[in-house]
Amino acid sequence: MTAIKVCDVVIIGAGIVGAACAAECVREGLSVAIVEAGIVGGGATAAGMGHLVVMDDSEAQFALTRYSQQLWDEVSAELPREVEHDACGTIWIAADDEEMAEAERKARFYSERGVAVEILDAHALREAEPNLREGLVGGLRVPGDSVIYPPCAAQFFVDQARTQGAELFLGTAVEAIDADSVRLRNGTSISAGVIVNSAGSWSPSLTPGLEVRKRKGHLVITDRYPRFLRHQLVELGYLKSAHSLTADSVAFNIQPRKTGQLLIGSSRQFEVDDAHVDPSILRRMLERAVEYLPGLRKLSSLRTWTGFRAATPDKLPLIGPHGEHPRLYLATGHEGLGITTSLGTAKLLLAQIMNREPVIPIAPYLPARVQESLHA
């Protein structure tokens, strides 16, 4: 088998996670090859909302999103214009008293951990977002959250990596991960000391047994309506949707892009393999959205599409050594938080490759945790 390249690290998948990992590796002085079957940022990176958000489902999720958000803040000045970084903030919306209680709990959780938050009552909510319907109870504003256009961010990290010597193999599919190399479909191979599977929803096809399942989402984008929305809006019922492991669900989630276009989501479906837009899911999702923003009805929508998130059983990504394969590392399973946590993932991965103390505790994201629970 001809090895067309020998390097320190080969990264499979040039989505935002793989791209961020590649950039981090070259920063460390490692030689890198990036192998991508399609185009840069063409998977979930292309399909999803580029919401840089701090989340509190668990301590581990909070730690990773918070760490990552700080890294994004550090790099935001360098990001090219096409990445459209916009520090618009998030407002979590409470439609009833139960959700308002949740907003208050969230507020305490975040402020105890140093994240700036602001509780909004009904009046303040309408002031912050005049297009929201009457009758909502209030919300939680998180000003530190922001939005980006992910494909250009992935390209930026790939470009950074290449400037420092990384080699990019585009349109190059991986046939298999061997003991010390990655075998490409064209018959050649890339030999490396470390192999990183950051292939998102394709990662199980390369690493059999990986507990990563596809979770389909739908999105709609509108024409430009520059003053319609100021913040990313998410309903607090979103958590109920993200928690379900089986049922199809929709939740209100909408993002104002720097262009003035509105990106409308979200939906979650397991066990659906085809990428077709499902009109009934789309309808449920849009009906939910117009419940919160009645003015959305008359707006012009330009496109609808779907994407597949890579989901794990405990909703935390897999970052670290595979365990059984001596050279294989995983950086996948980020579900709906891949854009945010791409930067934290890259740092944690490098810390493990270089055998250094990671900045945040690594245990919750280790692939071994899943294998252990399987064998338990």
Partner 1 sequence: MADALVIGAGPAGLAAAYRAAQAGLRVTVVDDNPAAGGQIWRGELQKPSSREAQGWFEKIRSVDIKLINGARVFQQTAPGTLLAETPEGVCELSYRNLVLATGACERFLPFPGWTLPNVMGAGGLQALVKTGLPIEGKRVVVAGSGPLLLAVAAYLRGRGAEVLLIAEQASQLRLAKFGFGLVGKMSQAFSLKRQLRGVRYLSGCWVTAAHGTDKLEGVTLFRSGKRWQVSCDYLACGFHLVPNVELAELLSCVVENGCVQVDQYQQTSVENVYSAGEATGIGGLELSLVEGEIAGLAAAGKHDDARSLFPVREQQRKFAKLLNNTFALRDELRQLPEPETIVCRCEDVTFGRLREHSSWRAAKLQTRCGMGPCQGRVCGGAVEFLFGWRAESVRPPILPVRVESLIRSAE
Partner 2 sequence: MPETVTVVVNGISVTMPAGSMVSAAILKTGITAFRRSATGEPRGPLCGMGRCFECRVTIDGEAHCRSCQTVCRDGMDVRTDG
Residues that bind partner 2 (CB under 8 A): 223-225, 259, 298, 300
Q: Which of 332, 7, 30 is nearest to 169 (CA)?
A: 7
Residue 282 interacting partner from partner 2, partner 1, none (CB closer than 5 to 8 Å by kind) = partner 1
Q: Whole-number minimum distance, CB 281 to partner 1, in Å?
A: 8
Which residue, 299 or 360, is less far from partner 1 as judged by CB? 299
Identify which range of 39-47, 70-78, 95-103, 127-135 contacts partner 1 by CB under 8 A: 39-47
Closest separation between CB of residue 259 and partner 2, Å?
A: 7
Per-residue binding string, partner 1, 292-331, x by CB under 8 A, is ----xxxxxxxxxx--------------------------
Residue whose pair of structure tokens reads 């402020």 in the numeric block:
111
CA–CA distances in Å: residue 300 to residues 74, 117, 284, 304 = 36, 33, 18, 12
**Cβ 223 to partner 2, closest distance in Å?**
5
How far, in Å, are 138, 167, 291, 298 from residue 230 at the CA level? Answer: 16, 40, 18, 19
Q: Which of 1, 116, 277, 374 binds partner 1 (CB under 8 A)?
A: 277
Q: Shortest gap between Cβ of 143 and partner 1 (angstroms)?
A: 27
| Closer Cβ to partner 2, 2 or 300, answer by number | 300
Is 286 among the residues that bind partner 1 (CB under 8 A)? yes
- Nearer to partner 1 (CB atom), residue 86 or residue 99: 86
Report, in Å, the least distance between residue 154 CB and partner 1.
9
- d(CA 141, CA 119) in angstroms, rounded, equals 6
Query: In this structure, what token pair is assigned to residue 1?
Result: 């088998």
Query: Any contact of residue 271 with partner 1 (CB under 8 A)?
Result: no
Binding window for partner 1 (CB under 8 A); candidates: 92-100, 132-140, 289-297, 316-324: 289-297
- Residues of span 56-95 touching partner 1 by CB under 8 A: 82
Task: Give the nearest distance from C-beta 267 to partner 1 in angstroms.
Answer: 13
Q: How far is the CB of 299 from partner 2 (least distance, A)?
A: 8
Q: What angle, rounded to 10 degrees, do the helices at 16-27 and 150-163 form?
A: 30
Q: Which of 65, 68, 146, 155 binds partner 1 (CB under 8 A)?
A: 155
Residue 112 CB neighbour total at 10 angstroms: 8
Q: Does 40 bind partner 1 (CB under 8 A)?
A: yes
What is the phi/psi pair of residue 159, to 5°? -60, -40
> 111 to each of 120, 138, 159, 221, how far by Cα in Å?
15, 18, 37, 33
Per the structure block, which two tokens stand in for 119? Answer: 């509780």
**Angle formed at CA 229 by CA 47 and CA 277, multiple of 5 degrees:** 30
Q: Which three-class secondary structure state does DSSP give residue 216?
A: strand
CB closer to partner 1 out of 37 and 119: 37
Nearer to partner 2, 123 or 298 (CB): 298
User: Long-range contact list for 109-117, CB < 8 A, 24+ apart?
Assistant: 109/56, 109/62, 110/54, 110/56, 110/142, 113/62, 113/66, 115/54, 115/66, 115/142, 115/144, 116/142, 116/143, 116/144, 117/141, 117/142
- Residue 120 has φ and ψ, to the nearest 5°, of -115, 130
- 21, interface contact from partner 1, partner 2, none, CB < 5-8 Å by kind: none
Strands 138-142, 118-121: pairing kind:
antiparallel
Chain contacts with partner 1 (rule: CB under 8 A)? 38-42, 46, 82, 151-152, 155, 170, 220, 222-223, 264, 277, 279-280, 282-283, 286-287, 289-290, 296-305
